[in-house]
């Protein structure tokens, strides 16, 4: 099943110092069920991160939580995985886009 996942950054945290480490893991994530991912922002000008979003094919919500806990943002205490939003997702279409390179 595919899920839409939104995981917010904890208040007062900054992802800047480990963003490169996080980005290095993105290509491998596509071999673990991720079909789409990206940052979410607090404003239209994209001046401040709010968290991250994913579309992930997984067997359960628990599997997704375990995946999120492998990320540098979680390990550094940035992501609020305990309050991640995880919803079953029905995709009506998908456009290809190159994976960002760190």
Q: What is the pLDDT of residues 11-39, one digit of tens each?
A: 999 999 999 999 999 999 998 999 999 99
Q: Is the pLDDT assigned to residue 63 strictly greater than 90?
A: yes
Which pLDDT belongs to residue 98?
79
Give the containing element (helix H, strand E) for 74: helix 72-75
What sign for the dihedral angle of Cα 88, 61, 78, 69?
A: negative
Q: Which positions ≥6 away from 14 have C-beta within 8 Å?
A: 78
Describe the chain by its helix, strand, coil percentages, rounded to 5. Answer: 25, 30, 45
Region 2-88: CATH code: 3.30.70.1060
What's the pTM? 0.89
- Confidence grade of residue 102 (pLDDT, cut at 50, 70, 90): low
pLDDT at 94 over 90: no
């Amino acid at each position: 099943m595919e899920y839409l996942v939104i995981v917010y950054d904890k208040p007062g945290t900054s992802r800047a110092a480990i963003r490169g480490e996080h980005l290095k893991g993105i290509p491998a994530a596509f071999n673990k069920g991720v079909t789409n991912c990206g940052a979410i922002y607090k404003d239209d000008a994209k001046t401040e991160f709010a968290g991250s979003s994913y579309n992930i094919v997984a067997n359960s919500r628990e599997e997704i939580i375990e995946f999120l806990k492998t990320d540098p943002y979680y390990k550094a205490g940035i992501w609020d995985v305990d309050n991640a939003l995880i919803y079953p997702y029905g995709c009506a279409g998908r456009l290809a886009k190159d994976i960002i390179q760190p």
